[in-house]
Structure 1
Amino acid sequence: MRQRNWRTEGFGRGITLFCAAILILITLSIVYFIASKGLSTFFLNGVSLTEFLTGTTWNPDADPGKFGALPFIMGSFLVTVGAALLAAPLGIGAAIFMVEIQPGWGQKILQPVVELLVGIPSVVYGFVGLSVIVPFLRNNVGGLGFSLLAGILVLTVMILPTVTSLSTDAIRRVPRDLKEASLALGATRWQTIWKIIILRSSLPGLLMAIIMGMARAFGEALAVQMVIGNTPLVPKSLLEPANTLTSAITLNMGNTIAGSAYNNALWSMGLLLLLMTFVFILLIRYVGRKGQM
């Protein structure tokens, strides 16, 4: 009997080890493939790293080609930060309402609605932005409608369910004793929510929710591509068209020749996205570790 249990345990351990090794191998293969392609721009095609990161002229068809990716980098960061600034207070406020103010109604109605929004494809968000947000901005705010602001608004709606769901989980983990002690000492419900729940107990979880939302926003391509204008210029205002790293890759990768400087430059953009993903992962782990201390 003991020998059979030992064999079963060894077999299970071997299967899990094999699965973990496959996962690590796939991850390392993806990193190696993207890095080898992305670094070819600088080592094989002679493009300067400084020019790529700080140049504002993107003209791969010129002789020699111009590969200034700063407009795409700035577009990605601006649309991500703008969406996070709008989604953070809305998502956290909705989470507080569902957990602390109207928990019964929030759990029965609002939470299913939020979970439903998570499953909507990005192309639907992009189509709604193209049909509603772009004409609204064109007719009431100014500009062409296809703008950085349109991309920010679409991404805000997209990441709002993620921020709301994770914020709700973070607020629900606050010990009930802390809230009852605050109320017993004479604090109002809002003082308890602000000082105890938000600023003290659930702050790491709320920060993690915002970072997760930013991670999704930074890598989004299709929805932003449909409303942002896709112009390789650094936007000077929210009403001007812009472009992002993901949009540039999806629009141009199919029109390039493998191994060319143009193709490798697009892979370099993919490498930047991969590095930013690692940055978000490190931030999430850091915030999570701080929350456990």
Structure 2
Amino acid sequence: MKLTAHNLTAPSKESKEEVRGRWLAGIAITIIGMLVAVMLLFLTFQGLALFIDNKVNVIDFITGTDWDPGHGHFGALPMIATSLTITFVAGLISLPLALMVALAITEILPNGVRKFIQPLIELLVGIPSVIYGFVGLTVIVPFLRSLFGGTGFGMAAAVIVLFAMIMPTMISMTIDTLEAVPNTYRMGSAGLGATRWQTIAKIIIPSAKSGILTAMIFGMTRAFGEALAVQMVIGNTAMMPGNFMQSAATLTSVLTTGIGNTIMGTAANNALWSLALILLIMSLIFNILIHLAQRKGR
């Protein structure tokens, strides 16, 4: 092909494709951003309708303990307290166990065993939540009933189900975090005469602490937003729980059971949207904590 000034200055095929790719990526990001913004605005306006249209006091809504929207009682504290309690308890139980399993897989077990166990953990991560709820309903609830009496439904059953749900996720994320620790750290520690456990305790865990904390918060975020599995085992009684064997209700369980039984625009429906707004705010707080944990580790 004869070279001309136009050929030398014209954009190449690769540069045109790059520009086209940037435009497509920009359009996709814009569409996704607009969808997220619309969803957030819609949920915010719907969630505030109870306080603006129905003149319900925000403090009374958050601190009240009587939940009966049909009769004008909008106390959301029982659901908030129950959601936070079972989330933190499940997270605190899961973290040390997830860390021990991840350390065993990455630092102790032979590669053959690791190649067998890790795919099983990844498989557990992808199991639908309804399966965990069904197992809880058919196995955990009857077991707790036979052990402690009562119905078996309650916060204890919800904690066990959430523990089983978030453990694989936390293990998988912790494994990725531990594998990201450079091998030179291990080799240097061994060269200085440290034992395997000293290396794990003094080198590996401190180096991966931000990722471990991120795995814990991520698992708790999933637990806090879980609806179906918890709804199947917690009993769905919107009252302040006195103990872990007593039936209770979470934000998500009240939303899923009540949203189809109310009329749009009524105070009862607005109250459910307000619960959804609280759920959104708490989820955003968890996500902010994840970003803070990641930035701290950099």
Q: Say yes or no: TM over 0.5.
A: yes
Match of 2:253 among 247, 251, 254: 247
Secondary structure of the residue aligned to 1:235 is coil
- What does residue range 81-96 of structure 1 map to in structure 2 within 5 Å? 81-96=88-103
Match of 1:187 among 181, 186, 194: 194
Note the alpha carbon deviations across 1:91-139, whole angstroms, 9 max, x for none.
Answer: 1111001000004134321101101101111111000001111011111
- What does residue range 62-211 of structure 1 map to in structure 2 within 5 Å? 62=71, 65-198=72-205, 200-211=206-217
Quick check: 1:97–1:106 contact (8 Å CA) kept in 2?
no
Match of 2:226 among 220, 223, 226: 220
* Structure exhibiting the larger radius of gyration computed from Cα positions: 2
Quick check: 1:163–1:210 contact (8 Å CA) kept in 2?
yes
Note the alpha carbon deviations across 1:155-190, whole angstroms, 9 max, x for none.
Answer: 000001110000000111111121222223232211
Equivalent residue for 1:21? 30
Aligned residues: 289
Q: Please tell me the residue identity of whatever aligns with 2:210.
A: P
Equivalent residue for 1:44? 53
Deviates more, 1:217-226 or 1:228-237: 228-237
Equivalent residue for 2:3? none
Secondary structure of the residue aligned to 1:234 is coil
Instruction: Please tell me the root mean square deviation across aligned C-alpha atoms, in Å.
Output: 1.2
Match of 1:283 among 273, 286, 289: 289
Q: Indicate how the Cα distance of structure 1 residues 8 and 264 shifts in structure 2: closer, same or farther if over 3 A, else same.
A: same
Match of 1:35 among 29, 35, 44: 44
Q: Indicate how the Cα distance of structure 1 residues 7 and 53 shifts in structure 2: closer, same or farther if over 3 A, else same.
A: same
Equivalent residue for 1:53? 62
Secondary structure of the residue aligned to 1:230 is coil
Deviates more, 1:176-185 or 1:106-115: 176-185
Secondary structure of the residue aligned to 1:3 is coil
Quick check: 1:57–1:68 contact (8 Å CA) kept in 2?
yes
Structure 2: how far apart are the matches of 1:90 and 1:260? 46
Structure 1, unmatched stretches of 5+, are: none
Structure 2: how far apart are the matches of 1:172 and 1:31? 36
Deviates more, 1:213-222 or 1:275-284: 275-284
